[in-house]
Amino acid sequence: MTAGRLSDRRWFLRGLTLSAAALATRGAFAQALARTAATTEGPFYPDTLPLDTDNDLLLINDAITPGIGQITHLGGRVLGASGQPIRNAFVEIWQSDNTGSYVHTGGRQPGGHDRNFQGYGRFLSDGRGQYYFRTIRPTPYTLRGMFRAPHIHVAISVNGRRIFTTQLLVRGDEANRRDSLIRRLDPAARETLLVDFAPVPGSSLGELSANFDIVLGRTAEELEDGQLRGGIGPPEAQRFRRGR
């Protein structure tokens, strides 16, 4: 990671730390956290994981040409139902590139895709439950005849077991009104998925920051019962690996 990208990450995580401290002082507010709504995984979880699966989706391995799109620093915290941070949560994200193509053999646009965009990343949450990705602002697309507003898929695994899947949405994007999946969501559930993509102060590249806290419907004690041990990926793949 270059010095500039490391500085960006530190800037973003500093903001997350301040947010966590503010949450801790609110007392009763922690008891009223809205649980993040779960959604379907969708059909385009990578059928073959890319060779590079780190948390920087803009650069693949040692390439010097980045993926195309508006640079976005995405982070947040993985929390239990009462606001307690969940460490060692395995956070996965995957999304389409600027052409509307996924890292999936059935999820490519006929006009081609961005070969410099990683499309998938993973990160292990720290002691404060924090995670971080460098990616692009998602864009709308139509694939297999279905229109989708900008979104990023998110999955959480703990101890090698997938426990939660959802899709974060861009607050205020006009395409949200045209997305049938979003329209079907209960308003309260939809609110837990809407994320502000805000300009990074002083960025000469027009970078954005986005904070998405994931509140699970289980306690940290129920989740932290051992080390991660395989099984990362969609539930179907996990059952296959276990011989079911």
In this predicted model, what pLDDT tens digit does every residue of 60-83 receive, in sequence order? 998 899 999 999 999 999 999 889
Q: Is a pLDDT exceeding 50 seen at residue 24?
A: no
The tokens for 33 are 């956290």
What predicted TM-score, i.e. pTM, was given to this entire model? 0.83
Percent pLDDT > 90 in the chain is 71
Q: What is the pLDDT of residue 2?
A: 54
Q: What is the pLDDT of residue 171?
A: 98
What are the percentages of helix, strand and coil residues in the chain, rounded to 5?
Answer: 20, 25, 55
Q: What is the pLDDT of residue 233?
A: 62
Beta strands in the chain (DSSP E): 71-79, 90-94, 120-124, 130-136, 141-143, 146-148, 151-158, 161-170, 194-195, 197-199, 208-211, 214-215
Which amino acid appears at position 96 of this protein? S
Q: What is the pLDDT of residue 33?
A: 84
Q: Is a pLDDT exceeding 70 seen at residue 28?
A: no
Q: What is the pLDDT of residue 10?
A: 53
**Overall number of domains in the chain:** 1
CA distances for 114 relative to 4, 39, 42, 58, 68, angstroms: 24, 26, 21, 11, 7
Which domain covers residue 138, as residue numbers?
3-241
Q: Does residue 98 contact residue 72 with C-beta atoms inside 8 Å?
A: no
Q: Is a pLDDT exceeding 90 seen at residue 206?
A: yes
CATH number of the domain to which 117 belongs: 2.60.130.10
Question: Cα(85)–Cα(172) distance, rounded to whole angstroms?
Answer: 28
The residue-averaged pLDDT of 239-243 equals 35
Q: Is a pLDDT exceeding 80 seen at residue 14?
A: no
Question: Cα(192)–Cα(176) distance, rounded to whole angstroms?
Answer: 14
Q: What is the pLDDT of residue 217?
A: 83
Band of pLDDT at residue 242, cut at 50, 70 and 90: very low
- Over residues 211-233, the pLDDT tens digits come to 999 999 865 555 555 454 444 66
Q: Average per-residue pLDDT in the chain?
A: 84
Closest alpha carbon to 209 in 70, 27, 62:
70
Stated length of the chain: 244
Q: What is the pLDDT of residue 32?
A: 59
Classify 49 as helix, strand or coil.
coil
Band of pLDDT at residue 25, cut at 50, 70 and 90: very low
Highest mean pLDDT among 141-145, 234-238, 239-243: 141-145
Closest alpha carbon to 215 in 55, 21, 127, 85:
85
